Amino acid sequence: MLHEILLSLWGCSTSVSQIIEIDSIDLEKYLHPGERALLNRILDIVKECNIIRGFIHEYTIYGLDTKENIAPGLYIRALCDGMDQALEPFRKEIIELERTVLNNSHTPLSLILCTVEKHTCLFSVLHSIIREIRTQKLHGCKLLQCLHQRMHTGIPKINSALELIIHHVHIVFYKHLQSWLLYGQLEDAHREFFIQKVSDYDRTLVHENGKNNVDTRGLSASRKMDVDMWDYNVQIDMLPSYIRPSMAGKILTIGQTVIMFRNDPSQKRGRILIFDNLDFMTSQPKNLVWGHKETWFFRLLKDLQAKSVFNVIEFDRAINDMKQLITENLWRKAVTEAQLMQQLRLVKEFFLMGRGDLFLEFIKLTAHILSKAPTSHTSRDINLAFQIALRKMHLNDESVIDSFNFAVPMLSSENEDTGTDTTDFSDNERQDPNEKRGWGMIILKYKVVWPLHLLFSPAALNDYNTLFRFLLRVKKTQIDLWGLWSEHMHHKNIDIGVIQLRNNLIFIVDNLQYYLQVDVVESQYTVMEASMQGTKDFEDIQKAHSVFLANVMSQTFLLTSGTGKKNPVNKLIHLLLRLCDDFILQASMWDVGNLLLTDKEELKTLCETLNSVMNWLMKALNKMRAQPSGEHLARLILRLDFNRWFSKNI
């Protein structure tokens, strides 16, 4: 009987439970009611232990056919291995009990119960872990958080068992981490690491707006680099709480940088031979991102993996050391080899229209093309006009011609139907028709110089193109208004209402243009340039560029809210630009020296619309100026309303 009890505790199938359930007079002859209660308690412990054994067996032997439909993977197997190791003291106790029973056949059941009952606290904790895994279908790094929440029980033996279990899972975690940090590779078939490669569907959504902003002329390796670099992201729900999101961002950046270095176009085949023998690595260390420090960092991560307890401080220090080396190498590559400041100057001159004379000529050459809906040959004609404008401005630098080119995607039929079938009259009326013409769809492509892909990501280039289209729209309106003024100079006795409206619109657009180009672009660029020249850390350069782009987007009213709504000032500016277009179109058809009655009514309507738009614009600007982030609006308000002409009626 005692041997069958021990076999049941070991996990073997016995008939003890069946015997104890038989309510017969014969059983009472052999078992005292007290012994029967002890035996029932022992069998309860057997059931608890068998649940744990079943879970371990299920995910180590039949991991692909789980009943709970929990995703299989390395982390759950490591967890099961850790649980199996945590049960080793329990198995040793059973072996000792077996020796005791062999030496003394009259061993009481109370001794067996007293020996195994001290493990019930551990079984209870393991049961709660198993229950949470099954109910919430946890897998991957989520298991680390599940274990971390139960680490501090106050019972030393349970703490030791949990440390052993989480150490087994951390071994898999560090293997993923080593592969990502040192080689930029992620072998994660079950999507268990907190850094994951986005799916094809998500990749389409992420790159839908950004993929057309990069000039794809060049090597296929460059295209592959962009895809590999930006197709990884941090899954916050997979991140354990003891790893801060900022630290996870650094880990993501390090791996992305390694991928970028691996695709260095100046390197030959040696740049990807990271698994070659050590002689090759030491003979050409410059081909590797880590150089001679790769072995040192590998051993550092191995030492962290070998520690029984996850040391957050040493982990953070190791990641920061790796990030520092990466940023130093990137700074040298970006500033000295890729000529970062020259590339930023080109971006400002083209994306932010710093070369006003060039785009004055460009707009004149392309006005008749961009005023129509794009066709299959629009991009070709625009690029030809761009090259003509460059030659007229004596910009024969081959690097400029190779770095920038234009594309004007054709409008899909679905978008056309969406625009024509709208039932909201007011929204349709406010919609700028130029958005469906070349002016609203033109894309300036930029061939990013390696290794500046970390600065000019697809999202950043998408923002630059948003800025470019807006600045181009304002510049085009300014040129058209001054063109109208030039035409009026050939007429005498022009109606005073036409002159006043024209001069008011010129004044508004000129000051808006000056605010955008000088108060925003030039001033923010100067701040960014000063920040970059005072550092040798590429991370500081990234931060300065991100702050610059965010400030320019914000101060030009192009940042959208979290719900996707446009800035109200941006809407009013577009209404103002559309009003300018309507006035230019109407004035070109009027006999400005002798207006008809209908012409005067149209002029009056335009004047009233301008007053209404400016009143709303002044209200919006003053309201935003009162906010802590609206200090820059004081300059725009001062330029537009220095004598309170527009705000007097508010």
pTM of the model: 0.70
- What pLDDT does 409 receive? 83
Helical spans, DSSP H, in 332-434: 340-350, 356-370, 378-392, 398-403, 413-420, 425-430
Whether the CA torsion 509, 512, 516, 519 is positive or negative: it is positive
Distance CA 460, CA 209 (A): 11
pLDDT digits (tens, 9 = 90+) for 514-535: 888 888 899 999 999 888 887 8
If you average pLDDT over every residue of the chain, what do you get? Answer: 78
Which one-letter amino acid corresponds to residue 93?
A: E
Mean pLDDT of 411-415: 58
Over pLDDT 70: what percentage of the chain?
A: 77
- For the segment 52-70, the average pLDDT, to the nearest whole number, is 67
- Give me the pLDDT at residue 199, please: 64
Do 80 and 167 meet the contact criterion of CB atoms below 8 Å apart? Answer: no
Lowest mean per-residue pLDDT among 81-95, 145-159, 421-435, 509-523? 421-435
- Give how far Cα 19 sits from Cα of 22, 26, 49, 561, Å: 5, 11, 20, 71
Domain boundary assignment for the chain: 1-172, 339-410+434-450, 475-649
Rounded to 5°, angle at Cα 204 from 549 and 560:
35
Can you say whether the dihedral through the CA atoms of 113, 118, 121, 124 is positive or negative? Answer: negative
User: What Cα–Cα distance (Å) separates residue 606 from each residue in 9, 137, 603?
Assistant: 92, 64, 5
Confidence of residue 140 (pLDDT cuts 50, 70, 90): confident
pLDDT at residue 647 in the model? 66
Lowest mean pLDDT among 356-360, 447-451, 453-457, 624-628: 624-628
390 vs 4, higher pLDDT: 390
Least confident residue range of 84-98, 141-155, 213-227, 446-460: 213-227
pLDDT > 90? residue 174: yes
- Chain-centroid distance, C-alpha 209: 14
State mean pLDDT over 60-69: 54
Identify the weakest region by mean pLDDT among 23-27, 34-38, 112-116, 642-646.
23-27
Q: What is the pLDDT of residue 171?
A: 93
pLDDT band at 166 (very low <50, low <70, confident <90, very high): very high
Q: Which residue type is seen at 401?
A: I
Mean pLDDT of 112-123: 83
Neighbours of 190 (CB within 10 A): 13
CA distances to 126, 130, 332 from 133, rounded to whole Å, are 11, 5, 47
Q: Using alpha carbons only, give the angle 630, 631, 637 rounded to the nearest 5 degrees.
A: 90
Confidence of residue 273 (pLDDT cuts 50, 70, 90): very low
Q: What is the pLDDT of residues 556-594, one digit of tens each?
A: 888 776 555 677 788 888 888 888 888 888 877 777 667
Residue 315 pLDDT greater than 90, yes or no: yes
pLDDT confidence of 67, banded at 50, 70, 90?
low
Distances from the Cα of 355 to the Cα of 112, 395, 436, 469, 517, angstroms: 89, 11, 26, 15, 11
Say which residues have a Cβ less than 8 Å from residue 610's Cβ, sequence separation at least 6: 501, 504, 505, 576, 579
Higher pLDDT, 560 or 25: 560
In this structure, which amino acid lies at residue 219? L
User: Residue 18's pLDDT is what?
Assistant: 54
Alpha carbon 310 to chain centroid distance? 27
Q: Is the pLDDT of residue 75 over 50?
A: yes
Residues 6+ apart with CB under 8 A from 11: 49, 50, 53
Query: What CATH number does the domain located at 475-649 have?
Result: 1.20.120.1900
Question: 230-245 pLDDT, tens per residue?
Answer: 788 898 998 999 999 9
DSSP H helices in 31-108: 33-60, 74-86, 88-103
What is the model's pLDDT at position 626? Answer: 63
Which carries the bigger pLDDT value, residue 385 or residue 22? 385
Is the pLDDT score of 334 beyond 70?
A: yes
Cα–Cα–Cα angle for 488, 646, 484, nearest 5°?
A: 15
Pick the more confident residue, 61 or 92: 92
The dihedrals phi and psi of 214, each to the nearest 5 degrees, come to -100, 135
Q: Could you tell me which of 581, 587, 578 has the C-alpha nearest to residue 491? A: 587
Query: Which pLDDT band holds residue 299 (cuts at 50, 70, 90)?
Result: very high
Please tell me the predicted confidence (pLDDT) of residue 282: 38
Q: What are the backbone angles phi and psi of residue 119, rounded to the nearest 5°?
A: -95, -5
Task: For residues 56-83, give the mean pLDDT.
Answer: 74
Q: Does 64 have pLDDT greater than 50?
A: no
